[in-house]
Structure 1
Amino acid sequence: MELVDTFDNLHIGVDADKDGDTSLHVAIICYMNDYAMALIDIDEGWLNIQNCLLQTPLHLAVLTGQIDIVRALLTNGANATLRDHKGETPLHIACEKGDRDSVAALVRSIRTEAARKEYFSIRNCEGLTCVHVASKQREFIILGHLFCKGADVNIGDGKSGRTVLHYAVEKNDIEMVSLLLTHPNIEVDRKTYEGESPLYLAFWRNHRRIRNKLIKKGAYFDYGYFEEGVE
């Protein structure tokens, strides 16, 4: 089918199909770049419409890796803070995909420091912030960008209170631990909801190199509590 025929057959408007997708949703899903751009330019209130999965056009643009569409949506007023059926903002998706360009564009769209701080603290249905997602994917450059823009290195997830340092320790990811320990605001003794510090996790998992790094960084080591098994 010719592209022009596809355009002619699409209904231009905010009426949604059975999946809740508007013409703009469909244009993005089908990679109809020129058509999507035209719809964005003549915005008739559909930039922030959510489909049945609560996905906005911005969610879909990030999901499909169309950075030009992402930038155009943001420039024209798309809301980067809306969450889909998984509780994820477009930033969660960009962090999971390792899409640095989309991360930068999304963060740039949040103008004030206070608003960015609130944006970075949004948790998905798994209780994870964008920082948690980026760290689990080992996206070091994205993490650095988020921290530079004010993301809290010590924020806990919504289910257990684990920080990104807790997660890195559990995985025995010494590279990630080393990176996190360079953060000037890192709290090495931050505890989970169950009272577990990163050092506690490192000790009971016998992650000796990480344990030593944490102690060197100043993590509190209770020799009475950890009496058995300490070398």
Structure 2
Amino acid sequence: MFVLILSGPVTGKRADSQAWSQMEARRPGPTQKSDVPATTRERDTRKSGTPSRPDTRATPTPARRDARADADLCAACRAGKLAEVKRILDTGRADVNCRSVVGMTPVMRAAGWGHRDVVELLVSRGADVSLVDDDGDNVLHYACEGGYRKTVEFVLSLDGVDINSRGQRSMTPVMLAALRGHRDVVEFLVSRGADVSLVDGVGNDILHYACRGGDRKTVEFVLSLDGVDINVRNDYGETAADVARDGRHHQLSDLLVSRGTQ
């Protein structure tokens, strides 16, 4: 049986079915506003919108740490409530880099839910985009796992963000985007220099991840890239076609066979 060791921005990291369930529990869900295209509204019940211009005022250094204010900040960032995020930061009681579940920072939450305007505000108020969560994932991993291209574009424009950064099990952001079937994000990352020849901690490359995700168009795009070997095997001796078959994506395994996989 195929065992794919993964890690991801909005996930609990997984080597078995239980771990995959933990990952699903941490995936971005319904929210109020994001940069998700209108075609995905029914699935994610999100609304697209034009990001507001970020507030450039500095966030006051908390005179007295307030755990409740930190929790409220995380909740507001997750929900994309820009005005509420501003209000909380202006009180000076919340830490813009506070940690919540599995070491997530507010800016990771905002990026994972596609709230680019909130991400911009947090960055202007001192959010540290070089931080990683307890699993090693950073803000770019979160944005890519969620599939928010506009957020990905903004995050990638920031100093200190490495397009080929490694998360848990050495997953790169483009691997996460491929896993989730976010072809537009994969294409964007590749256009900006994402290295598709890299493998994770157990030898899975981007094609393994795309096949695990099951999106045919993403797989077809990945197959068109230089540096992607259709016959590369992970540490368990499995090709991308094996991954597709294990995930019951038989059309993908047939596609790979037609392309000459061994």
TM-score (norm 2): 0.59
2:255 paired residue number: 209
Q: What is the SS of the residue equivalent to 1:116?
A: coil
2:221 paired residue number: 179
Look at both structures and tell me which one has the larger radius of gyration over its CA atoms.
1
Provide the C-alpha distance between the structure 2 equivalents of 1:21 and 1:163, rounded to a whole number of angstroms.
Answer: 37
Alignment match of 2:166 (pick from 102, 119, 122): 122
Q: What is the SS of the residue equivalent to 1:168?
A: helix
Alignment match of 1:138 (pick from 181, 194, 206): 181
Provide the C-alpha distance between the structure 1 equivalents of 2:109 and 2:87, rounded to a whole number of angstroms.
Answer: 17
Alignment match of 1:95 (pick from 130, 141, 144): 144
Gaps of 5+ in 1: 1-11, 222-231
Q: Give the deviation of 1:41 after TM superposition.
A: 7.9
Provide the C-alpha distance between the structure 1 equivalents of 2:115 and 2:244, rounded to a whole number of angstroms.
Answer: 41
> AA paired with 1:168?
A
Q: Give the deviation of 1:52 after TM superposition.
A: 6.0
Q: Give the deviation of 1:58 after TM superposition.
A: 0.7
| Contact 2:78 2:109 (C-alpha < 8 Å) held by counterparts | yes
Q: Give the deviation of 1:163 after TM superposition.
A: 1.1
Does residue 191 of structure 2 align to residue 148 of structure 1?
yes
**Cα-Cα RMSD:** 3.8
Q: Give the deviation of 1:180 after TM superposition.
A: 0.7
Alignment match of 1:72 (pick from 100, 111, 121): 121
Q: What is the SS of the residue equivalent to 1:21?
A: helix
Provide the C-alpha distance between the structure 2 equivalents of 1:168 and 1:35, rounded to a whole number of angstroms.
Answer: 37
> AA paired with 2:172?
T
> AA paired with 1:183?
L
Q: Give the deviation of 1:86 after TM superposition.
A: 4.2
| Contact 2:180 2:210 (C-alpha < 8 Å) held by counterparts | no
> AA paired with 1:129?
T
Identity %: 25
Alignment match of 1:165 (pick from 200, 207, 221): 207
Q: Give the deviation of 1:142 after TM superposition.
A: 0.6
1:21 paired residue number: 70
Q: What is the SS of the residue equivalent to 1:191?
A: coil
Q: Give the deviation of 1:144 after TM superposition.
A: 0.8
1:34 paired residue number: 83
Query: Greater RCO between the two (CA within 8 Å, min separation 6)?
Result: 2
Count of paired positions? 199
Q: Give the deviation of 1:164 after TM superposition.
A: 1.9
Q: Give the deviation of 1:156 after TM superposition.
A: 1.7
TM-score (norm 1): 0.66
